Structure 1
Amino acid sequence: MKTLVPSLLLAGMLSAPAWAQAVKRSDYPIQAVSFTQVKLADSFWLPRLKTNTEVTIPASFQRCEATNRVKNFEMAAARQGKFATIFPFDDTDIYKTIEGAAYSLKLYPDEKLDQYMDELIRKVAAAQEPDGYLYTARTIDPAHPHNWAGPERWVKERELSHELYNSGHLYEAAVAHYEATGKKNLLGIALKNADLVCSVFGPGKRAVAPGHEIVEMGLVKLYRVTGKPEYLSTAKFFLDQRGHYQYDPKSPDPWRNGSYWQDHKPVVAQKEAEGHAVRAEYLYSAMADVAALTGDQQLLAAVDSIWENMVSRKLYVTGGTGAVPGGERFGANYELPNTTAYNETCAAVANVYWNQRMFQLHGEAKYIDIMEKVLYNGLISGVGLDGKSFFYSNAMQIKNSASFPQTEPARAGWFDCSCCPTNLARLMPSLPGYVYAQRGRDVYANLFISGTTDLRVNNKPVRITQQHNYPWQGNLKFTVNQAATADFNLLVRLPGWARGEAVPSDLYRFASSETPKITIQVNGKPTEYTTRNGYAVLSRKWRQNDVVEVQLPMDVRQVVAHPKVQDDLGKVALQRGPVVYCAEWKDNQGKASNLIVPAATTFTTSFQPQVLNGIMQLQATVPAVQVDAATTSISTTRQTLTAIPYYAWANRGKGEMTVWFPQQLTDVDLISRKAPEVTVGK
């Protein structure tokens, strides 16, 4: 059955048909202010977004060309050749890079980039089969498809083929491209594919729980653009198919009991974060989407429970998730090892998506607190300061000793499975869409990033400008501008870390119970305010050039973990503002694993503009363990510990690094003169 979308019909769908306008749809009670309405101007994120535009995205496109990802589409269009890359999901690297480039065009208009994308989209269109099927690993040579794909369409979708995963990333890219450019060329391809998917899957038709989730999120985005109910109902159908996996007890991988791809229980019965972390967090994002759009209370209760489990049992102090390398998956409760931590960069991207949705459901600052932790730590650690070198996994400790010999990891420009670089390419330029949100007359300031936003409150135009030097300084400034007096509530997030809360659970806490004071002024005068769900609610009739100033405490805090986290017993991590720190070999006499941070340690801070593109550096005098391997004698000396933001490590060569520091000497790992090399990483 052909499901072509004629241009006239497509235009009608996108202009919101009368029936769609007449029916009031359920949705998130809080809506994000679109990335198209926010313009950044800060010194922390804007240079990163510029690097993403000038380096990361061009490098991703170039590498898609050089590694034959583009050639796969050209051969699929010709219906001849041999699939030229490794994995059947390699198509998505092109989709994700297009998505990032589309967002980037709003920040930095670029006619050449726009034209290049149009040419790439023409190649994607030519590779699409007449009924909408788009999967180069089969289309190139249907008689000899990729061995993960199976002999027929969809037959290995649960386990290996990634056919629907490819579709999901296509949909996400198409919506971003349409919203950023107004063009419908990629969107038409996506709608044609989505109509095929909806015709194949559903009640009384083919059923499957997609093996690598994201098609559900993509279908929801297409539903928002078109109002077509089949897209939402099919997304929900995919969620409802989970829990039917038949586990083979003879499997050589006992963890593949269905939980690897979240298929061990119906979604409404799942209570913990389990399995492959990226797949899981895409699933949980889709659960939030469908719960918001359908009002499904069972889905809502399940995703709430899963979030609580993740934040209270399975989250690294940097916001990383997915502790176990085997299966790139969540471990058991409190299983958070440091030297073998996996923390896939893609999982950090997915965690941002998930927490944004949880905030939109509930309006609580704790979700943005976790998002912020991920953004400033476990996410940007995944990309080098050069914008073209990456980590697939993000370790918490690198050491080289007799009992733990390893080669220190180096960032790589590309991977055989290069999902992480292209995921970063699409996430980074979408950041403006996470800064503000709105619910009626409530305007939420979620992220503290200098720039301006233009929105409407009570049908009146309002501009809000942020000016500050966050995350290095805690003095925030918001200026409200509008043509006439506007009556609305400005809700400024009071970060958990500024209220004495390391995370919104007992998984981590600050060693000191002191709670520094947050002060807020309006037009230079202290103001009274109420708090709601972690926000300061500033309710007033705003006048032209009203100024809100918020002072957040920026003390260096020692963080301790729950006693059930075995690897962190007797240790502390360091945090200042939202930024988690580490010690790296480069600044600490060639080592990092021998440093001790007693409870009474006092740190000094200094901004170093020439170091690692500009960082706030921490220093303290601490004991350092010295081991003479020849005589096995042990001593401690006093030396300066220099700590840098965790995100900046591994940009100056290979060597030791640690996030957690022992508070006292309890045991010594003898340092070998030359440890044997082993290969680490993927």
Structure 2
Amino acid sequence: MRNKKHLLLGIMLISLPLMAQRRDYPIQEVPFSKVTIDDQFWLPRIDTNRTVTIPSSFKKCEETGRVENFILAGKKNADPSFKGKFQTQYPFDDTDIYKIIEGAAYSLTVHPDPKLEKYVDSLITIIGKAQEPDGYLYTARTIDPEHPHPWSGAQRWVNESILSHETYDSGHLFEAAAAWYQATGQRNFLDIALKNADLLCRVFGPGKRHDATGHEIVEMGLVRLYRITGEKKYLNLAKFFIDCRGRYNNPRSTYSQDDKPVVDQTVAEGHAVRAGYLYSGVADVAALTGDTAYRHAIDKIWNNMVSKKYYITGGIGAIPKWEGFGDNYQLPNLTAYNETCASIANVFWNYRMFLLHGDAKYIDVLERTLYNSLRAGVSISGDKFFYANPLACDGKFQFNRESLTRQPWFDCSCCPTNMCRFMPSLPKYIYAQNRDSLYINLFVGSKTDVTLNGRMPVKIDQQTNYPWSGNIRIGVHPEHPSRFSVCLRIPGWVQNQPVPSNLYAFKHTDPKTFTIRINGKPVSFIKRKGYAVISRTWGKNDEIAYTLPMPIRRVIANQQVKNDQGKVTLERGPIVYCLEGIDNGGNVSDIILPDATKLKTTFYPDLLGGIDMITGEAKVVKQTNQGVVNQSCLIKAIPYYAWSNRGVDEMEVWIPDHSGENHK
């Protein structure tokens, strides 16, 4: 790791352009680098990402030819007569290395590792040699420009709106280079990215090429470069790419959200990862330009998603055929796709919606996705992954590209490498601030230092055993007694609303509510946009005791979700549960959970990384000499995110509560 002087220089260079920007999100994140996690739930996962997931993913990139692609492109640039062959399957495979570098950069920011930094530096050198003189960086063409990848098109950019992924590669390059620059203060990777971005600015824009990006993310990446450099051309190009959508009024372009202009779109459509990245980029540009039409569009799209196309596990993208959204209320379980990358994109999008609006409902959606569908995407061991995250498994059905078991890698390995970059950035979602208000969004054992109103330094430390316990203690330590507001998120599930719509509901209302005490005494607060807002003069050692009731709840689905009628799912706090065959005699499809079943939780510290298991006496449908009968059985439910860590087995999230009908 570079010395602190270099790190501080990098942070200063990043912050200088921001000081000149007048428009931005009304609420600001507290950067992950300023938050230290000491949490027993997330810290082991982040450490595993650093010690297992990132190194094993780099190794896979070497073994599968992803690194070799850059080496071959560099040889072609050095010697035009060189003959090489693209080594991997997809033209966007370059991005896997970019994403792992991004994750490594975040990790290095808080965990210096000279060996890892030296290795990444060597990769950046290889990437630099693969870049063509004018800034073009796309090994699927550079290696053999006369015979480029079939998706790429005969010339640059001609297939950009379809399959080439040229600007998709650029977007991940920009994200990774920005992260590396922030981590080390070194410009080697940033200069590569800026050279590529400048090429895009010369090629695309008014009076130039006007292709809508086929797989969005370059919009977010360009915004990252704008924030670092203050160069408005990058922000302008991000907006231009957004405004290119829908120019040809082609209904078949819903797959890439290109059937109509973004400002006219009202529903979540098409490929779910593309959609989440687009909506995140639209939010960024809306915040930085003040474009209210953008904001209104993504508000409508968000409402459609969360009220008609959102799984109880937080996953999005129901349909395997196009890895994306289906019709309203089309939410199958066995064939649910719910790509891991889509869950990550959904977190990106919802966090930006919170920064725009300051409403806790967006963090409610983020939290549900984070603790369930997203975390399910990687094994407890950190080296095996799910591409798709269905809500049922019969031990037989499998998607075209994925096995029923977690895999160490895929031909298309966007999900494993996306997890590499997401996990170390998780601390940034815990806190946020706005003038004299501090938001506590996620309940994660952690510490941070913030400065409110530019003049009030405050130290915060949070202690909790969440999500297994609803007891949260928050130390508030201003440098001097100061008046400001602490905004505690009141989770929707505490207020008898599992999601911020009528898509799901708790079967029974729970009268218990949360309590807040400061220094042992009840305190007054106001409710605002899903937060308990406590405004007072805080002393150096004030402590908030925030208690959230966490009974086991039964959830039912809207009647228009046909696959889930006559069924319930179990959740406790933010965790959704499932039945897995290994715990329930091998067969879970015939289990019934009557309403009268009494359930309890028991913590098992040595099972699946430490979990609360739900148990109770339910019923199972059996074929006997007397016909079909319901017999008593003990059920064991585990957190959904932990399933398939012990081999292939049956699994169900939704359980019949009054019949033994097949429910897949």
TM-score normalized with structure 2 length: 0.95
- Say which of 270, 275, 292 aligns to 2:270: 275
User: Does 2:204 correspond to 1:207?
Assistant: no
Shift of residue 225, structure 1, vs aligned partner: 0.8
- Say which of 194, 197, 204 aligns to 1:194: 197
Shift of residue 183, structure 1, vs aligned partner: 1.8
Structure 1 residues 632 and 651, CA gap change in structure 2 (3 angstroms): farther
Show the counterpart of 2:241: 238
- Counterpart Cα distance in 2 of 1:211 and 1:44: 37
Show the counterpart of 1:162: 165
Counterpart secondary structure, 2:186:
coil
- Say which of 513, 521, 531 aligns to 1:525: 521
- Say which of 342, 345, 353 aligns to 2:340: 345
* Amino acid in structure 1 at the alignment position of 2:176: A
Structure 1 residues 191 and 607, CA gap change in structure 2 (3 angstroms): same
Show the counterpart of 2:61: 64
* Amino acid in structure 2 at the alignment position of 1:471: P
Show the counterpart of 2:4: none
- Say which of 181, 185, 198 aligns to 1:178: 181
- Counterpart Cα distance in 1 of 2:316 and 2:374: 11
- Counterpart Cα distance in 2 of 1:66 and 1:78: 19
User: Does 2:504 correspond to 1:501?
Assistant: no
Counterpart secondary structure, 1:287:
helix
- Counterpart Cα distance in 2 of 1:408 and 1:388: 15
User: Does 2:633 correspond to 1:636?
Assistant: no
Asked if the contact 1:557–1:575 (Cα under 8 Å) also holds between the matched residues in 2, the reply is yes
Shift of residue 234, structure 1, vs aligned partner: 0.4
Show the counterpart of 2:385: 390
- Counterpart Cα distance in 1 of 2:396 and 2:147: 48
**1:94-493 → structure 2 map (5 Å cutoff):** 94-245=97-248, 247=250, 257-399=252-394, 409-458=404-453, 459-493=455-489
Asked if the contact 1:36–1:180 (Cα under 8 Å) also holds between the matched residues in 2, the reply is no
Asked if the contact 1:53–1:104 (Cα under 8 Å) also holds between the matched residues in 2, the reply is yes
* Amino acid in structure 2 at the alignment position of 1:559: V
- Counterpart Cα distance in 1 of 2:539 and 2:412: 53
Show the counterpart of 1:37: 34
- Counterpart Cα distance in 2 of 1:78 and 1:388: 32
- Say which of 578, 584, 590 aligns to 1:582: 578
User: Does 2:657 correspond to 1:654?
Assistant: no
Shift of residue 144, structure 1, vs aligned partner: 1.3
- Counterpart Cα distance in 2 of 1:394 and 1:632: 39
- Counterpart Cα distance in 2 of 1:579 and 1:669: 22
Asked if the contact 2:10–2:182 (Cα under 8 Å) also holds between the matched residues in 1, the reply is no
- Counterpart Cα distance in 2 of 1:171 and 1:24: 20
Asked if the contact 2:576–2:640 (Cα under 8 Å) also holds between the matched residues in 1, the reply is yes
Shift of residue 377, structure 1, vs aligned partner: 0.1
* Amino acid in structure 1 at the alignment position of 2:296: A
- Say which of 535, 541, 548 aligns to 1:545: 541
Structure 1 residues 389 and 16, CA gap change in structure 2 (3 angstroms): closer
Counterpart secondary structure, 1:98:
helix
Structure 1 residues 337 and 48, CA gap change in structure 2 (3 angstroms): same
Counterpart secondary structure, 1:477:
strand
Counterpart secondary structure, 1:573:
strand
String of CA shifts for 1:160-209, please: whole Å, max 9, x gaps: 10000000000111111111222221111111110110111000111110
- Say which of 569, 594, 606 aligns to 1:573: 569
* Amino acid in structure 1 at the alignment position of 2:335: T
Asked if the contact 1:438–1:444 (Cα under 8 Å) also holds between the matched residues in 2, the reply is yes
* Amino acid in structure 1 at the alignment position of 2:98: Y
String of CA shifts for 1:75-115, please: whole Å, max 9, x gaps: 00001411000000000000000000111112321110011
- Counterpart Cα distance in 1 of 2:350 and 2:147: 41
Shift of residue 498, structure 1, vs aligned partner: 1.1
- Counterpart Cα distance in 1 of 2:30 and 2:551: 31
- Structure 2 residue runs without a partner (length 5+): 1-8, 77-81
Show the counterpart of 1:618: 614
- Say which of 569, 577, 591 aligns to 2:587: 591
- Counterpart Cα distance in 1 of 2:14 and 2:347: 29
Counterpart secondary structure, 2:320:
coil
Counterpart secondary structure, 2:367:
helix
Counterpart secondary structure, 2:591:
coil
- Counterpart Cα distance in 1 of 2:327 and 2:363: 25
Structure 1 residues 12 and 66, CA gap change in structure 2 (3 angstroms): closer
Show the counterpart of 2:46: 49
- Counterpart Cα distance in 1 of 2:661 and 2:21: 64
Structure 1 residues 17 and 507, CA gap change in structure 2 (3 angstroms): closer
* Amino acid in structure 1 at the alignment position of 2:190: L
Shifted more, 183-192 versus 201-210: the winner is 183-192
- Counterpart Cα distance in 2 of 1:24 and 1:595: 58
- Counterpart Cα distance in 1 of 2:21 and 2:343: 34
- Counterpart Cα distance in 1 of 2:593 and 2:110: 43
Asked if the contact 1:496–1:503 (Cα under 8 Å) also holds between the matched residues in 2, the reply is yes
Structure 1 residues 17 and 282, CA gap change in structure 2 (3 angstroms): closer
* Amino acid in structure 1 at the alignment position of 2:539: R
Asked if the contact 1:408–1:656 (Cα under 8 Å) also holds between the matched residues in 2, the reply is no
Asked if the contact 2:570–2:576 (Cα under 8 Å) also holds between the matched residues in 1, the reply is yes
Structure 1 residues 489 and 235, CA gap change in structure 2 (3 angstroms): same
Shift of residue 125, structure 1, vs aligned partner: 0.7
String of CA shifts for 1:448-479, please: whole Å, max 9, x gaps: 11010011113122110001100000000000
Asked if the contact 2:513–2:548 (Cα under 8 Å) also holds between the matched residues in 1, the reply is yes
Shift of residue 483, structure 1, vs aligned partner: 2.4
Asked if the contact 1:157–1:208 (Cα under 8 Å) also holds between the matched residues in 2, the reply is yes
- Structure 1 residue runs without a partner (length 5+): 1-10, 248-255, 671-682
Counterpart secondary structure, 2:286:
helix
* Amino acid in structure 2 at the alignment position of 1:37: K
Asked if the contact 2:11–2:185 (Cα under 8 Å) also holds between the matched residues in 1, the reply is no
Asked if the contact 2:340–2:374 (Cα under 8 Å) also holds between the matched residues in 1, the reply is yes
Counterpart secondary structure, 1:318:
coil
- Counterpart Cα distance in 2 of 1:16 and 1:382: 32
Asked if the contact 2:367–2:574 (Cα under 8 Å) also holds between the matched residues in 1, the reply is yes
Counterpart secondary structure, 2:592:
coil
Asked if the contact 1:401–1:669 (Cα under 8 Å) also holds between the matched residues in 2, the reply is no
- Counterpart Cα distance in 2 of 1:281 and 1:408: 25
* Amino acid in structure 2 at the alignment position of 1:584: E
Show the counterpart of 1:27: 24
Shift of residue 246, structure 1, vs aligned partner: 6.0
* Amino acid in structure 1 at the alignment position of 2:462: Q
* Amino acid in structure 1 at the alignment position of 2:175: E
Structure 1 residues 82 and 400, CA gap change in structure 2 (3 angstroms): closer
TM-score normalized with structure 1 length: 0.92
Asked if the contact 1:500–1:516 (Cα under 8 Å) also holds between the matched residues in 2, the reply is no
**Identity between Structure 1 and Structure 2 (%):** 55
* Amino acid in structure 2 at the alignment position of 1:664: H
* Amino acid in structure 1 at the alignment position of 2:65: N
